A and B are shown apart, each in its own frame.
Chain A
Amino acid sequence: QKEVEQDPGPLSVPEGAIVSLNCTYSNSAFQYFMWYRQYSRKGPELLMYTYSSGNKEDGRFTAQVDKSSKYISLFIRDSQPSDSATYLCAMSAGGTYKYIFGTGTRLKVLA
């Protein structure tokens, strides 16, 4: 079993839809959680960063962490074609200088 599991997609949604992207993990020591967006042939770009459980909102993006279920989510409201990319979750136990990445979910937002 991988430490971090993420559905690879692709996930196709119409423009304006609410998108839900998810990761599950097995290591209960993980406390730091990140979501990255990666456009084709580009480096990953940090979208959201959360520590421990709870919600964090930034514009159209909301990150949720449920440590009891070992489950994190990224919600995108009013999705746009420009949101079409691969979304990667990443997590760390802290103090390790190492984030473990999910395999990424490919999202297509159709105009």
Chain B
Amino acid sequence: DTAVSQTPKYLVTQMGNDKSIKCEQNLGHDTMYWYKQDSKKFLKIMFSYNNKELIINETVPNRFSPKSPDKAHLNLHINSLELGDSAVYFCASSQRGDNGYTFGSGTRLTVV
């Protein structure tokens, strides 16, 4: 049973479209994250939610809107997609903020 699952695994879409990525964790963790990994493998935090409350928003364009309906789910909606949004987006979870993360397998987004 997958601990952190993301859907879809691959997403190819045209510029200007709106898309969503879903994430669910079954570990009982209280904190969830979205990270973006660029083509050079650099992982950068975008958002963090603790018990459904937004606690980190790292200067991400407001075209990106996270939503956490409950502490087991964290979704990412992206409006007006741009070429520069092409990357792999990873969801992760942890119990409190200072413990190790469990990552999902990633969503590879390609904007054409």
Instruction: Tell me whether B43 is interfacial, beta carbon within 8 Å.
Output: yes
| A92 contact from B50, B55, B98, B108, Cβ within 8 A | B98
A36→B38 CA distance, assembly (Å): 17
Q: A97 touches which one: B4, B43, B50 (CB < 8 A)?
A: B50
Contact between A44 and B90, CB atoms less than 8 A apart? yes
Whether A96 pairs with B90 at a CB distance below 8 angstroms is no
B41 touches A103 (CB 8 A): yes
- In the bound assembly, the distance between CA atoms of A3 and B67 in angstroms comes to 29
> Is B44 an interface residue when CB atoms closer than 8 A count as contact?
yes
Select the stretch in B14-22, B72-80, B99-107 that faces chain A. B99-107
Chain A residues near B25 (CB, 8 Å)?
none
* Alpha-carbon distance A108/B3, docked complex (angstroms): 28
Query: Is there an interface contact between A103 and B40, defined as CB atoms closer than 8 Å?
Result: yes
Residues of A contacting B98 with CB < 8 Å? 32, 92, 94-95
Q: Is the CB of A43 within 8 A of B104?
A: yes
- Cα of A103 to Cα of B39 in the assembled complex, Å: 11
* B27-58 CB contacts (< 8 Å) to partner A: 31, 40-45, 48, 50, 55-56, 58
Which residues of chain A are near B42, meaning CB under 8 Å? 101, 103-104
Specify the chain A residue showing the minimal Cβ separation from B55: A97
A49 engages B100 (CB within 8 Å): yes
Taking a contact as CB atoms under 8 Å apart, the answer to whether B104 and A99 are in contact is no
Name 30 interchain pairs, CB-CB below 8 A, sorted by A. A8-B41, A32-B98, A34-B100, A34-B101, A41-B108, A42-B105, A43-B4, A43-B90, A43-B92, A44-B90, A44-B101, A45-B103, A46-B100, A46-B101, A49-B100, A86-B41, A90-B43, A92-B98, A94-B97, A97-B48, A97-B50, A98-B45, A98-B48, A98-B56, A98-B97, A99-B101, A101-B43, A101-B44, A103-B40, A104-B42
